[in-house]
Chains A and B, each alone.
Chain A
């Protein structure tokens, strides 16, 4: 939701980034304020996922230009774990499986690490168990998931629910959801969306990276951005998503080319 006196959480200016020497992001601009939900849409290869990974600090993505301020701090001065502790959260498109590590152990360690960094109390295993079970209800997750290895053998929907559970535990200021809707059936999509809606408040912000409009029926964005060739080329309200769904992405780039020709 757009609030009048909201603070700027994320300010991206002219961001350029490469993977293996190939430039993917070519001058991306974006401003996200607290309370807002942004959707970034675009065809495959437009750089959406690269943008997500750059924000989270993946080392395979090299930032070659521009700036990103997170709550006024230079994000690129922080290593990935510092970003997470400061309040940046990336829900992975493909959550990693970690055989041999119990989900409960992983969740408690990450929770306590972040709590300690934020100067808050850590929870012992029993306290944490009560706490996480409450959070799991929000995502209609069976407590059995605590005993299993992290994401191992989870279905696509279960993995995505586990991502949102981590988001609920870590209480980020900025959550980036990378293709969270991919691979979800309609029930899982509803559950995951409910969870995200429940977690969104006036002090945090969500960036939904998605290929399809479907997710936006459940999580209603304040802004929809269209990405093409490493830049945001059009921004609108939630109705832009519906228009993209019916007309595809091509008309946006056609419109943009026409506008550029007029300007020339």
Chain B
């Protein structure tokens, strides 16, 4: 990242204030974890908050974030299952719940089906964790990943043993309950060779005032592993949500992700997929559905570092009100990554005259025997389609809703969990109803 230093008074003071609660974090019995945190704290001291002058942030003004002060979440309110049952996903037999970033064992349930699912505090003795945690989502150039790592304490750990196919999805539920609190959700998924699992990463809120979620997820697929990764960001209306996800693909592994961004005042999701061996497949789908004054930014990078990689990407934005969507999709094909087969599409629907989208496909190809396609469209609802539906008796708003829904449904339908798919389909229908 090309970091331009901003006046020290604002940005550095801001990061210091965010770090203020960090020394209160109890030391871990694990020396490597304490070192990782300390390194991250040091790095926060060097990095700055990105501004519009940073190429990677030039469409996304996060200055509203720095105008508010956030403190680390205090002891979270004790929630009862009845408070959060509506977020449960019936297919998932394992659910880890984190309240303001703090693990809530009384709300969590772990099935004894062979998949190891635990909070970092409980299971951090596994050497595999030390080899992966903080190694994929590196924080050297990323101030938000550094902040998250500085506060690394509770974290969702999922390990799927060799050749095991998880029978049911694993649901990670991150619940925000405190205003002006900063929380640092963390997740590490290790899919061992030949294993298969579906992970649902779900961000919700029980309050509507401003807060800050700064999440990091790391996913490592060993040879022939398969991961379906569903990410639902349905934060509160005034939330700031910044998340980094790093995925590492070993030989012949298959990664499929569907990320849906519905909530937050300002959200930013960076997904980096690195192909570390030959013959990998990844499918990266995304939908942002935003209105009012929301801003949703999705930055993805699919790094074809090895030959015979296949990637498919479809990203859609539905933008109403005076909302602003950003998509930056980088496809990197490194020298020697021959026979790479990559396609990317970015389709955007503007529902109002003041809605705004910036979409930027970014192909960097350094191999010569590759197939890479990309395309981007920005449009409004088709008036002929609206007329067709009205001529069948549907009101204008019902017609527009149906067409808007249809636009988003293509992504929603790719979610391999039926109840979540149906719930999100309903959300899309309801959210389009309130568009101006």
Contact = CB atoms under 8 A, between A and B. Distances in A.
Interface of A: 56-60, 79-81, 83-85, 89-90, 92, 95-96, 98-101, 106, 109-110, 113-114, 117, 149, 166, 170
A99 B388 contact: no
Interface of B: 382-385, 387-396, 398-399, 402-403, 405-410
Contacts of A56: 387, 391
A80 B402 contact: no
A101 B394 contact: no
Contact of B385 (A60, A96, A110): A96
A90 B392 CA distance: 9
B393 A117 contact: yes
A92 B394 contact: no
Contact of A170 (B390, B393, B396): B393
B390 A79 contact: yes
B393 A81 contact: yes
B387 A59 contact: yes
A59 B393 contact: no
Nearest to A101: B406
A43 B100 CA distance: 71
A2 B352 CA distance: 50
Contact of A113 (B382, B391, B393, B407): B393
A83 B399 CA distance: 15
Contact of A92 (B388, B390, B395, B407): B388
Given A110-B394, A170-B392, A100 B409 contact: yes
18 contacts: A56-B391, A59-B383, A79-B396, A81-B399, A84-B391, A89-B391, A92-B391, A96-B382, A96-B385, A96-B388, A98-B403, A100-B408, A106-B392, A109-B402, A113-B393, A113-B394, A113-B398, A170-B393
A58 B388 CA distance: 9
Contacts of B406: 98-101, 149
Contact of A57 (B385, B391, B403, B408): B391
Contacts of A59: 383, 387
A85 B407 CA distance: 26
A90 B391 CA distance: 7
Contacts of B388: 92, 95-96, 98
A23 B385 CA distance: 25
Contacts of B405: 100-101
Contacts of A149: 406
Contact of B384 (A96, A101, A117, A166): A96
Contacts of B398: 109, 113
A114 B393 contact: yes
B137 to A, nearest CB: 34
A109 B395 CA distance: 11
B410 A81 contact: no
A99 B390 contact: no
Contacts of B390: 57, 79-81, 84
A84 B395 CA distance: 10
A175 B396 CA distance: 21
Given A99-B410, A100-B405, A100-B407, A110 B393 contact: yes
